[in-house]
Amino acid sequence: MNLQVALLGAAALLAITGAALLSRRRTGAGRALAAAALAVLLALISYRWWLTGHPPLFGTLESDVADGAALLVAALWLSRRAAPFVTAGAAALGGALPLRGLAHGLNMFPLTISERSLWIDLHAPLGYAAFACLAVAALEAGRLVVSRAQEEETGRLSASLLWGFLFVTALMVTGIWYSGILFGAFWRWDPVESLALAAWLSLGTLAHARLFFGWSERRIAGWVLAAFALALVLFKGLVYLPGGATYHVFDLRL
């Protein structure tokens, strides 16, 4: 237990310090600290994987650590390409999210029979990738909202929004297919499925407005922030739903 808390604290400290350096355009030092934070989170993922016998699929801490690792990967990828605000924001979120998971406990959960499936092994990483892309899109949108320079549009908001939409699409497809296998019905109006549909429609509408109707990145930026708020409820609000509200029980606080 103490080892896991130490690893979480070290990852958060490294990531947030790296984010501070990246925000000041000290790219080399910031990248090094972000990479060190990522290595710590991957070590924690491996350790809990070894203890539970399954990858990070089940539990709030697993979800937040995996999302944090995905965001740190995004920060490292963007550090030579994106604005310092976006890179630093991704690194800071990557360090802070595991602390949120820690607040819900260090408990580890075995998989039930229905969760021992390659479909679940695919479904969860798609969710982590989708969350990272949408968080980057939100950071890019926030930069455009606060920036006054018209030439600040770079195409990165469009790219991150499109990738986020594609990953959410793949996330829904795998979930719908596995629902059909488990329940004999591809769709049930579960709160999580309803949220996923609303988020998917919102993201898809924005992607189409940008790609096919000529909306500028600046024009869609505010809407992207609103869509991310909706996606945030989907990805991070599950644990706060009352017991029995959903059969999606992958996010636990106990």
pLDDT digits (tens, 9 = 90+) for 183-202: 788 888 888 888 889 999 99
**Of 211, 224, 119, nearest to 164 (Cα)?**
224
pLDDT higher than threshold 90 for residue 182: no
Q: Quick one: tokens of 12?
A: 């958060």
Tell me the pLDDT tens digit for each residue of 11-25. Answer: 999 999 999 999 998
Name the CATH code of domain 113-246 (choices 1.10.3470, 3.30.70, 1.20.120, 3.30.310).
1.20.120
**Of 217, 204, 108, 213, nearest to 165 (Cα)?**
204
Give me the residue spans of the domains in the chain: 1-111, 113-246
Tell me the pLDDT tens digit for each residue of 53-80. Answer: 888 887 788 889 999 999 999 999 998 8
Cα 30 from Cα 18, distance rounded (Å): 4
9 residue type, one letter: G
Cα 46 from Cα 7, distance rounded (Å): 12
Q: Quick one: tokens of 173?
A: 């497809």
Cβ neighbours for 112, distance < 8 A, ≥ 6 positions apart = none
The reported pLDDT for the residue numbered 164 is: 95
> pLDDT band at residue 254, thresholds of 50, 70 and 90?
very low
Cα 146 from Cα 246, distance rounded (Å): 38
> pLDDT band at residue 147, thresholds of 50, 70 and 90?
confident
Asked, colleague to colleague, whether 1-111 and 113-246 share their fold, the answer is: yes
Contact between residue 72 and residue 94 where contact means Cβ atoms under 8 Å apart: yes
Cα 133 from Cα 138, distance rounded (Å): 9
Q: Quick one: tokens of 35?
A: 């990479």
CATH for 1-111 is: 1.20.120
Q: Is 195 helix (H, G, I), strand (E, B) or coil?
A: helix
Cβ neighbours for 70, distance < 8 A, ≥ 6 positions apart = 94, 128, 129, 131, 132
pLDDT higher than threshold 80 for residue 113: no
Q: Tell me, rounded to whole angstroms, the distance of Cα 149 from its chain centroid.
A: 29
Q: Pick the more confident residue, 111 or 15.
A: 15
Cβ neighbours for 89, distance < 8 A, ≥ 6 positions apart = 19, 139, 142
Supply the pTM of this predicted model. 0.90
The reported pLDDT for the residue numbered 161 is: 95
